[in-house]
Structure 1
Amino acid sequence: MTEPENERGEEQFEGAAGGGAAKPAPAEPEEPEPAEDPAPEEAPAEPEREAEPEQESEEPAPEPESDASEVATVDVAEAMGAILDEAAAYQATASEDDEEAPASTLPDLTDDATLHAALESLLLVVDSPAEEELLATALEQPVKRIREALQALSARYTESGSGIDLRRVGDGWRLHTRDTYAPYVEKLLLDGQRAKLTRAALETLAVIAYRQPVTRSRVAAVRGVNVDGVIRTLVTRGLIEETGNDPDTGGILYRTTELFLERLGLSSLQDLPPIAPLLPEVDAIDDVG
């Protein structure tokens, strides 16, 4: 009994040993584990393929936004264009109103009396004889009608004994005070005037003294300033006087008077001192038209 038991024990041991040796068998399939590696490689490839449609699906998403921005930009551009058009239309309407407004308030120059009044207004502000063409342009009237109106206005002043005299000087017309009332004008302007001449008056007087007879435009060209007021002062002081008109321009010519020589203690203009230290630039007058 002992031997069979031993045999059974050996068989059991061998069976156990056989069973233990069989355990490596399942380990053999573990060798294909490298074959399982391609599976993970394919697995990432599949997500990439899946990711591509996802990206494609995400890309169209911004397209509506871009469309919206484009639409918004177009809307803004259209709105700005509409605003600018409206502003331009408003400005055009406003400018038309501005142009029409004065026209409705201008005097009707078809009436002779109104035309005469308009001519008087212009003649009062001119510094030199105003030509008929210049007056016609300012009043938008035919030259012939302006000429006839000036002649009628001058005749009316004379017939009524007015203190204003409208004279034709050269190619233009200018208002003067009538000679009949000159003593009163002189009294008003000269009485109480004992003040010394200003530097501007002295410079103007020097130009006239050395280059007489000379027009006020040439004197102004030398001095570089307007001399109308100074000329009037010198005339009222009796230091200069009118002496005809320039044949080229029609401007009034001025010269010094006897009173000028008396005040300076000179017997004639030949006694005037040399011009260089007093008026070095006076030769430029000859080049002034």
Structure 2
Amino acid sequence: MSNPELHSPELARSIEAILMVVDEPVTELTLATVLEVPVEQIISALEALVPSYSDRGFALKAINGGWRFYSHPDFSPAVEKFVLDGQQNRLTQAALETLAVIAYRQPVSRARVSAIRGVNVEAVMKTLITRGLVEEYGVENETGAILYKTTSYFLERLGLNALTDLPPLAPHLPDIDSLDEILDSLTD
């Protein structure tokens, strides 16, 4: 199954050509299969390619279990302006809050998300599902409610490799003393 005609420079160029046309991250195994070389050779080639883009407007990253070209983070203001100018595809505050609850509590039912947010999230959930950021995951045994989770597209859009890469919530939560003060002020 080895392709003897594919040497290091040709292998790197073949990988680049494939990565230029993918819509989602592609795994090392897929690249190895298509190019008929061992996975270890693909991994070595990818790792050698990563630093070669350090002074470019794009970077090669391993995201969500696969590899893909992404715009370089240093140029995010320019890319954001290009992508967002004239577009109204931004998520609303309600959608962002709902998405955050799902991301940190998944799998989670729609009723639980509504309870956490304190509002009905029916329309917002439909938007998130339509945009491919959230999907059905299964059914809760006790209640029969449909459970939801974030998608691989969610990870890709956020530039995360896994959910464990989400920033911790603890630094953004009030400490216990602050909560006690708040509760005391409410009972006065």
> Under a length normalisation based on structure 1, what TM-score does the superposition of the two structures give?
0.34
From the two aligned structures, give the one with the greater helix fraction.
1
- Which of structures 1 and 2 has the bigger CA Rg? 1
Q: Could you say which structure has the greater relative contact order, defined with CA pairs below 8 angstroms and 6 or more residues apart?
A: 2
> Under a length normalisation based on structure 2, what TM-score does the superposition of the two structures give?
0.49
